[in-house]
Structure 1
Amino acid sequence: MKIAVMTDSNSGIFSETGKKMGVHVVPMPVIIDGETFYEGIDLTLDSFFERLTGGSEISTSQPSPGDLLDMWDRTLKEGYDEIIYIPMSSGLSNSCSSAIMLAQDYDGKVQVADNHRISVPQYGSVRDALKLAADGKSAAQIKKALEDAAYDCSIYIAVDTLEYLKKGGRITAAAAAVGTVLHIKPILTIQGDKLDSFAKTRGTKKCRTKIIEAIRHDLTERFGKEDISKMRIATAGTFRNPEDAKRWRSEVEAAFPGFEVVYFDLGCSVAAHTGPEAFAAGIYKVLE
């Protein structure tokens, strides 16, 4: 069977990269001052941050049912027998549950994996799906494999400013003011379905050290030494300067000899809460 692997741009995979990988990408809509743009299509991260820091009213949304149905229909007409769709975590957006409902009309030809992931681990799920499809697995078999392994991952994110967490209602104005005065930088974590507080540090250097320590703890304690060969480590961020992104990737790679560490831009759905100059690292297990 010919299986199409599809994801959304929250995975860090945008349209052009998706074409090279053989992945179909659903661009996430972003509403700026009442006008809808599509991530990776007519909205770059640079232009997104210009509008975000310029005071524009910004909100993120889920793909419209019509756009999603059109993409599924078009993909099936291109000669694919089935589609495995890997959207962002159902705990972070309604887009997954909406897609599951829409897929019921496709008689099993469209399978939606509630993979409970976003960004770096979501990218890992896409890579797993490509391999499973190449091995001859059906879309339903891939869905089960991805959902069984959904929680074998972590992301840790540090923000440069508390302003956007305040705007999103994730911290109070008073907490943001105190944090700014004391140079406190929170580290957030995504463990499956929620964006939660993980730690608070003072200064960027301590933030980076804390994130690396968290990844090392997951690698050696949470997943166990017998699983290290199956683990992957990646970095992400909302850096405005590409050189800063390279430095962060290199720092993490140096901390974990033997791992090839890659870098991804955080998608707008996360970046709207973190603001620019945020940095993250994630760890996830690859399937057998």
Structure 2
Amino acid sequence: MKIAIMTDSNSGITAQEAQQLGVTLLPMPIQIDGQMYLEGIDLFPPEFYARLAQGADVSTSQPSPADTLELWDKLLEEYDQLVYIPMSSGLSGTAATAASLACDDPYEGRVFVADNKRISAPQRQSVLDALALRERGKSGAEIKQRLEAASLHSQIYIMVDTLHYLKKGGRITPTAALLGSALNLKPILQLQAGKLDAYKKVRGTKAAKAELVHALEAKLPCLEGEGKLIVQTAYSGSDELGAEWNEFVQQAFPQFQVYSTVLPMSIACHTGPGALGVACVRELPID
């Protein structure tokens, strides 16, 4: 049985990496000043952050059902089954829309939407797990079940460098943003059970970095599962910032090989540039 693996650009997987892995990538739509772009197709980080700095009105939306089905139809001409791994249903309606589409003919029993509550680097790991499961001969239904059963075996913490974008998106009040900026507060968010929530507020970037590492250290022993633990970093903005952050985390966790990725634009449009993230995830044991 030939099984295709598909994900979206929220995984941090680039078009080039998707081609190398043999994975199909659905680009996420980003709207800037009323014009729609596709992440990694006609919109890339340098232009995205330049437009943010210019004060552009930036928002995200779901991929259209037509674009999703077009990819499915193309893949099902060559493959018997398809496993689609979208971003967490707690952050977008993308997974729910796809699951609904998969219930109709001719997709029922051939397309399996695995909602395992992840985004960014942990979502990327889900794709790698799916590829490994496929190599061991697992069916689309089995891969979906294994991924969803491990949905809580990951954790993300993100520090927001500026409150401007949280205020602009209506996630905090202008008064709270003004006070937070005056006190140099750096909010730390967590992705828990597939949803992004407040975790803690820390004064200053140095303290926030230390808190991110401390939070991850405390979480590592709590992650259930038998697979290898993987530590990952993510960032928004310059690659230099990302490299410095990855080195900082690598020094804090010398027992791991720390993997770095760019935060997806769907999160970065709410955090702005300068956001730093750290994540841990368990690799699925392959039996």
- Aligned equivalents of 1:223, 1:187: Cα separation in 2: 20
Residue number among 243, 248, 251 corresponding to 1:251 in the alignment: 248
Corresponding position of 2:18 = 18
- Aligned equivalents of 2:63, 2:204: Cα separation in 1: 37
Corresponding position of 1:101 = 100
Q: What's the secondary structure of 2:102's corresponding residue?
A: helix
Within a 5 Å distance, the mapping from 1:1-288 to structure 2 comes to 1-77=1-77, 79-105=78-104, 106-220=107-221, 222-223=222-223, 230-240=228-238, 242-288=239-285
- Aligned equivalents of 1:16, 1:169: Cα separation in 2: 35
1:107 CA drift (Å): 2.6
- Aligned equivalents of 1:259, 1:2: Cα separation in 2: 34
Q: Alpha-carbon deviations, 1:158-195, whole Å to 9, x = none?
A: 01100001111111110100000011111111112221
Q: What's the secondary structure of 1:104's corresponding residue?
A: coil
Consecutive unaligned residues in structure 2, runs of 5 or more: none
1:45 CA drift (Å): 1.0
Q: Which runs of 4+ in 1 moved over 3 A?
A: none
- Aligned equivalents of 2:223, 2:98: Cα separation in 1: 31
Amino acid at match of 1:52: L
Check conservation: 2:49, 2:237, Cα contact below 8 A: no
Amino acid at match of 1:85: Y
- Aligned equivalents of 1:17, 1:56: Cα separation in 2: 29
Q: What's the secondary structure of 2:103's corresponding residue?
A: helix
Amino acid at match of 2:228: K
Q: What's the secondary structure of 2:215's corresponding residue?
A: helix
Query: TM-score w.r.t. structure 1 length?
Result: 0.96
Question: Number of aligned pairs?
Answer: 283
Check conservation: 2:229, 2:280, Cα contact below 8 A: yes
1:266 CA drift (Å): 0.6
Q: Alpha-carbon deviations, 1:39-66, whole Å to 9, x = none?
A: 0010001111111121111110000000
- Aligned equivalents of 1:13, 1:83: Cα separation in 2: 18
1:272 CA drift (Å): 0.7
Query: TM-score w.r.t. structure 2 length?
Result: 0.96
Check conservation: 1:239, 1:279, Cα contact below 8 A: no
Check conservation: 1:89, 1:192, Cα contact below 8 A: no
Q: Alpha-carbon deviations, 1:191-221, whole Å to 9, x = none?
A: 122211111111111111100011111113x
Q: What's the Cα RMSD here?
A: 1.2
- Aligned equivalents of 1:276, 1:254: Cα separation in 2: 23
Q: What's the secondary structure of 2:170's corresponding residue?
A: coil
Q: Alignment identity in percent? A: 49
